[in-house]
A = this chain, B = another copy of it.
Amino acid sequence: MPLMSKVASSISEAMSIKFNNIVYELKRQGKKVITLSLGEAFFDIPLFPMNDLPYPDIYHYSHSRGLPELREKLSEYFHKQFEVDFDPTKEILVTAGSKIAIHMAFMGMLDPGDEVLIHEPAWVSYSEQIKLCYGKPLGVPYFETVFEFEKYISNRTKAIVINNPHNPTGKVYSIDELNKILELGKKYNLWLLSDEAYSDFLIDNSFVSLGALEKPFSRVVIFNSISKNYGISGWRLGYIIGNSDFINTVSKVNQHLITCPATILEYYVSKHFYRILEITFPQIQNLLKARKQIGSFMESIGLKFLPGEATFYFFVAIIPSKLTSEEFCERLLREEYVSVVPGIGYGASCDKFVRVSFGTESMDDIEFALKKVKELIRATS
């Protein structure tokens, strides 16, 4: 057999997916697993009929930038919801998930050796996507704030990525922090990528899109996800918003990688856009109430976690356990049938944490599972 590429051989499996694949296999064997490892929340959403969608267009390719009606809906929504204005014909590309959107943006901006600053704990795929583009991810440790970012910038730095609201801490970046990032972008001529896939997972109005602070779009690039905010993560609909020249470049890449997202689902979401939002909104609010309850519960049993108020994630410390985060999660899953994701997947500074995602299980199961986390910390200290 010929050799595989060095770059693909060198990247890590996505920690979250690795553990979730084990969960799928345990479940197929009939095991009950309390699953706190998924990158999604489960909502109760009806399925509307599809036979009133435009036939036969549902079967064919759509415009390679995404269905025009859907782009118009998104433009309208961003204007109202986030005070972000973009031209739906030129400044957005809808594709098969925000994951591939982010990857294609890296392809559109990175030359080999270019560095990208990512704020740890950082979503598992940023670093591997950057490596696949022959760029160099530079993790800023979790204990640093954006006000310390400058010392990590070199003459090879090409971009800064933030995730706002933040997976896995739930942190929402303040206006001061966002302005600091914009300032650094201008000073060092950097691309500024803001992954806002959890923009609707908030209990208040504290979230500000980075896209609201730069008009017109120039160095700021926004990513968001229809599938995530609508509780339909398996439908793979995400998008990228930015200045038209950059979107043109990414569109070329998209034409050779994706063509378009699943057309029938574009029509469906376009048609039921506000209706699904209405259905998911109260459920998101309940999820965020549950967040408070779970936070209090963790405090009551002595589990510590990084501060944050949005999303359905907690980044929980496993100190003083002597296990690495991967060993910890393996044991928790194999012995207690509780799945969480190892912190090491989120950066070198994060091996004493695990990610807990609470969007898919009952409160009883979550509390039971968190006790198991606490017990395993104690047993391995």
Chain A, interface residues (CB within 8 Å), range:
35 or more
Is A310 on the interface with B (CB-CB < 8 A)? no
Chain A positions 312-365 with a Cβ under 8 Å from a chain B Cβ: none
Give the complex CA separation of A258 and B110 in angstroms. Answer: 20
Is A171 on the interface with B (CB-CB < 8 A)? no
* Copies of the polypeptide in the assembly: 2
Contact check, B110 vs A256: say whether CB atoms are below 8 A apart. Answer: no
For the complex of A and B, list the 9 residue pairs with the smallest distance between their C-beta atoms, beginning with the closest.
A234-B263, A14-B255, A262-B262, A125-B256, A17-B255, A8-B108, A128-B256, A96-B96, A60-B234
Is A265 on the interface with B (CB-CB < 8 A)? yes
Contact check, B8 vs A103: say whether CB atoms are below 8 A apart. Answer: no
Contacts of A45 in B (CB 8 A): 56, 59
Contact check, B246 vs A260: say whether CB atoms are below 8 A apart. Answer: no
Chain A positions 277-299 with a Cβ under 8 Å from a chain B Cβ: none
Give the complex CA separation of A244 and B11 in angstroms. Answer: 17
Residue of B with least CB distance to A10: B252
Contact check, A107 vs B190: say whether CB atoms are below 8 A apart. Answer: no
Contact check, A107 vs B8: say whether CB atoms are below 8 A apart. Answer: yes
Contact check, B235 vs A110: say whether CB atoms are below 8 A apart. Answer: no
Contact check, B96 vs A233: say whether CB atoms are below 8 A apart. Answer: no
One of B7, B39, B158, B257 near A103 (C-beta < 8 A): B257
List 20 contacting pairs A-B, 8 Å CB cutoff, sorted by A.
A2-B109, A4-B245, A5-B133, A7-B111, A8-B107, A8-B109, A8-B249, A8-B252, A9-B249, A14-B255, A21-B63, A42-B59, A61-B233, A96-B97, A99-B258, A112-B112, A132-B256, A234-B263, A235-B262, A265-B265
